[in-house]
Chain A
């Protein structure tokens, strides 16, 4: 009796809910808006509320205090937000129109935020777009508009055990041809695996698409309307990726979590890995400063038929459409992309400047490890700027896993990626 009572009540409740849901508004927000009014040169005024994530959020107030010196009437209020689930926070803020003035966003997420219509386009003439690394500038655009200003960048390079390479008498590979023999030589010096590669965990594509780019593949056609994964170049790239497993240079069971590979690299069981500027700090944590100094070598990725392109990530500044102080926000962002401020920020945070002229002085100019990143940044590329990229990336990750584990040929994997990516589409109706 109790069960039937409960189920009857439930049915009644569900019906009532559906009725209520039917009364709801259904408004769909359109895409981006037009570029806002130009921003003048007078000092910024008023309170400027900004969100910044993680370490950036913790350190930014110090930099913002310097902004105040040049703009005594403005006050930048920084709220530090965790990187974890920050996208949810930004999306919710946009949906409720209760936003701060500006926020830092991960470069890969900008397209999605821009597509909600909650971001303002960068005012014309605010910054010199050509001063940014090309890959960084490329990831600020959506549907013909520019929605973000690159702040810092990161890219992946080759980290290898310098001591093993010296013992084997080899130097870092410059081309695909030298890649395999170099890693094999390190394995002969006692490393079980030559190179750590992603084998299907989330965001594996960031490690695998570069192989395709290096072979000369373009993953979208000229006007970015269609995906082109089924090209001979893409196939060459994926076959090259597969060759690391068939030659037993890389394990088919790659790392599944952050921080897993560093101990293996320190222990010498894995001789090389591909990672970004944050890796140095992680290796210092796992192996100590002396380990990094004596045993870690850094080199640009080896060049394929076309280039040595790597993946570019980083952070962009965006301004919300509902900003209360848009003028101040854009002025702050313009100030942040000044070469001297970018250098200051590098000193405070270790983040690599997105503005190329910032690299012409001091440590950024002279440090040999930074020089490697600098040259890698010249050719680094972002993932395609489409709102559906998350879905497509998940498809790619799954197919990468099949190739890595040896259950699918690269050709079949690319065909499936092409079919599914075309079905998902670019999220644009052109």
Chain B
């Protein structure tokens, strides 16, 4: 859908220079609206499906609007033991990881971008290497490590491995590199120490990158399934995705009503978060994407 938008847009504008712009606009907007609808349709289906009885969700032929709307799926979901706890667990893990990433990734990023020290290249190379190595290969060793530290089945075990990520360090380093050295040097001449420079000069200037990092980290942790599944040894440490999989998917069938209601519950906080950070987020993507 986006492909059509980008190809038809400029082509038409070239052929009809100035006056017929409205027509070109119309075509462009038409394509954009189609793209928007295609993007929103699954979400609409999810929200509408969550208030349908199971029979209606799988009905053939299907209909968009629920014929007999019901909140039974949500009631069933919320009646599950501990559901509030799973929600809380997810929030705790995601928020802790976001805070950790914001602090540590920007600190590491600052060091890699603005401070000279021995072995910097090698260390940064290791960070990049971590980006390349697929997570599945380090999965079992990581689990063995965490479990040997006695952190199996603990919140710390859920959070610690993701408190700082190579991706975050990379984003922050690239962003901070573009802050003029003059600013840092001026602060240094004024007698500011590294921590003061970092807190007072660097951090305020990296807000867009921090917002991007925050939402990406939150998203990754909020949706993380495999690690919480493996590390949590008792149900009271489950996060939402794990609990949802437990309730809605069986060995031989899926409870689609429950699954959709759960998906709505999982997605809504993310949509709210995105709306809150929208301005910073788009700015951040534009800035970091250029490189």
Using Cβ atoms and an 8 Å threshold, which residues of chain A touch B242? 82
Q: Is the CB of B246 within 8 A of A282?
A: no
A262 and B251 CA atoms in complex are apart in Å by 17
CB < 8 Å: which of A14, A79, A313 contacts B234?
A: A79
Using Cβ atoms and an 8 Å threshold, which residues of chain B touch A88? 226, 229-230
The contact string, 1 if C-beta is below 8 Å from chain A, for chain B 226-267, is 100110011100000010011101111110100000000000
Asked whether any CB of chain B lies closer than 8 Å to the CB of A6, the reply is yes
Using Cβ atoms and an 8 Å threshold, which residues of chain A touch B253? 258-259, 278, 281-282
Q: Is the CB of B122 within 8 A of A263?
A: no
Task: Say yes or no: A54-B246 contact (C-beta < 8 A), given A98-B152, A106-B251.
Answer: yes
Of A17, A58, A98, A264, most buried by chain B (CB within 10 Å of CB) is A98
The residues in A between 1 and 23 inclusive whose CB is less than 8 angstroms from any CB of B are 2, 5-6, 8-14, 16-17
Using Cβ atoms and an 8 Å threshold, which residues of chain A touch B233? 79, 100
CB < 8 Å: which of B143, B234, B256 contacts A92?
A: B143
> Top 6 A-B pairs ranked by shortest CB distance?
A13-B125, A263-B60, A82-B245, A9-B125, A13-B129, A12-B125
Q: Is the CB of A84 within 8 A of B245?
A: yes
Q: Is the CB of A96 within 8 A of B147?
A: yes
CB < 8 Å: which of A10, A89, A154 contacts B129?
A: A10
Q: In the complex, what residue of chain B is closest to A91 when comparing beta carbons? A: B140
**Interface of A toward B, CB cutoff 8 Å:** 2, 5-6, 8-14, 16-17, 53-55, 57-58, 77, 79-85, 88-89, 91-93, 95-96, 98, 100, 106, 154, 258-259, 262-264, 266-267, 276, 278, 281-282, 285-288, 313
Using Cβ atoms and an 8 Å threshold, which residues of chain A touch B268? none
Using Cβ atoms and an 8 Å threshold, which residues of chain A touch B156? none
Q: Is the CB of B249 within 8 A of A11?
A: no
Using Cβ atoms and an 8 Å threshold, which residues of chain B touch A106? 251
Q: In the complex, what residue of chain A is closest to B233 when comparing beta carbons? A: A79
User: Would you mind naming 29 contact pairs between A and B with Cβ atoms under 8 Å apart?
Assistant: A2-B177, A8-B125, A9-B121, A9-B124, A9-B125, A10-B128, A12-B121, A12-B125, A13-B124, A13-B127, A13-B128, A17-B126, A17-B133, A54-B246, A83-B245, A84-B249, A92-B139, A92-B140, A95-B140, A95-B144, A96-B140, A98-B147, A258-B252, A258-B253, A276-B252, A278-B250, A278-B253, A286-B55, A286-B59
Using Cβ atoms and an 8 Å threshold, which residues of chain A touch B124? 9, 13
**Interface of B toward A, CB cutoff 8 Å:** 54-55, 58-60, 121-122, 124-129, 132-133, 139-140, 143-144, 147-148, 152, 177, 225-226, 229-230, 233-235, 242, 245-247, 249-254, 256, 291
Shortest C-beta distance, A48 to chain B (Å), equals 14
CB < 8 Å: which of B152, B249, B291 contacts A83?
A: B249
Using Cβ atoms and an 8 Å threshold, which residues of chain A touch B256? 259
Q: Is the CB of A259 within 8 A of B254?
A: yes
Q: Is the CB of B126 within 8 A of A16?
A: yes
Q: Is the CB of A95 within 8 A of B245?
A: no
Using Cβ atoms and an 8 Å threshold, which residues of chain A touch B121? 5, 8-9, 12
Q: In the complex, what residue of chain B is closest to A282 when comparing beta carbons? A: B253
Q: Is the CB of B58 within 8 A of A6?
A: no
Q: Is the CB of A12 within 8 A of B144?
A: no
Q: Is the CB of A79 within 8 A of B147?
A: no
A411 and B122 CA atoms in complex are apart in Å by 57
Of B127, B148, B225, B229, most buried by chain A (CB within 10 Å of CB) is B229
Q: In the complex, what residue of chain B is closest to A94 when comparing beta carbons? A: B140
Using Cβ atoms and an 8 Å threshold, which residues of chain B touch A267? 60
Using Cβ atoms and an 8 Å threshold, which residues of chain A touch B252? 154, 258, 276, 278
Shortest C-beta distance, A371 to chain B (Å), equals 21
5 further interface pairs, Cβ-Cβ under 8 Å (given A10-B129, A58-B247, A278-B251): A5-B121, A16-B129, A80-B246, A285-B54, A286-B58
Shortest C-beta distance, A90 to chain B (Å), equals 10
A5 and B132 CA atoms in complex are apart in Å by 17
Task: Say yes or no: A83-B250 contact (C-beta < 8 A), given A9-B121, A259-B58.
Answer: yes
Of B139, B225, B235, B251, most buried by chain A (CB within 10 Å of CB) is B251
Task: Say yes or no: A16-B254 contact (C-beta < 8 A), given A85-B226, A92-B139, A285-B54.
Answer: no
Task: Say yes or no: A83-B251 contact (C-beta < 8 A), given A92-B139, A96-B147.
Answer: yes
Q: Is the CB of B249 within 8 A of A54?
A: yes
Q: Is the CB of A13 within 8 A of B126?
A: yes
Using Cβ atoms and an 8 Å threshold, which residues of chain B touch A16? 122, 125-126, 129
Using Cβ atoms and an 8 Å threshold, which residues of chain B touch A85? 225-226, 229, 245
A68 and B58 CA atoms in complex are apart in Å by 42
Shortest C-beta distance, B115 to chain A (Å), equals 15
Q: Is the CB of A79 within 8 A of B235?
A: yes
Using Cβ atoms and an 8 Å threshold, which residues of chain A touch B291? 2
A272 and B226 CA atoms in complex are apart in Å by 37
Q: Is the CB of B235 within 8 A of A82?
A: no
Q: In the complex, what residue of chain A is closest to B177 when comparing beta carbons? A: A2
Using Cβ atoms and an 8 Å threshold, which residues of chain A touch B250? 54-55, 83, 278
A92 and B177 CA atoms in complex are apart in Å by 40
A6 and B128 CA atoms in complex are apart in Å by 8
Q: Is the CB of B55 within 8 A of A288?
A: yes
Using Cβ atoms and an 8 Å threshold, which residues of chain A touch B234? 77, 79
Q: Is the CB of B60 within 8 A of A264?
A: yes
Using Cβ atoms and an 8 Å threshold, which residues of chain A touch B129? 10, 13-14, 16-17
Shortest C-beta distance, B242 to chain A (Å), equals 6
A156 and B197 CA atoms in complex are apart in Å by 69
Shortest C-beta distance, B46 to chain A (Å), equals 16
Q: Is the CB of A13 within 8 A of B58?
A: no
Q: In the complex, what residue of chain A is closest to B81 when comparing beta carbons? A: A58
A267 and B55 CA atoms in complex are apart in Å by 12
Q: Is the CB of B246 within 8 A of A10?
A: no
Task: Say yes or no: A96-B58 contact (C-beta < 8 A), given A17-B126, A79-B234, A258-B253.
Answer: no
Q: In the complex, what residue of chain A is closest to B133 when comparing beta carbons? A: A17
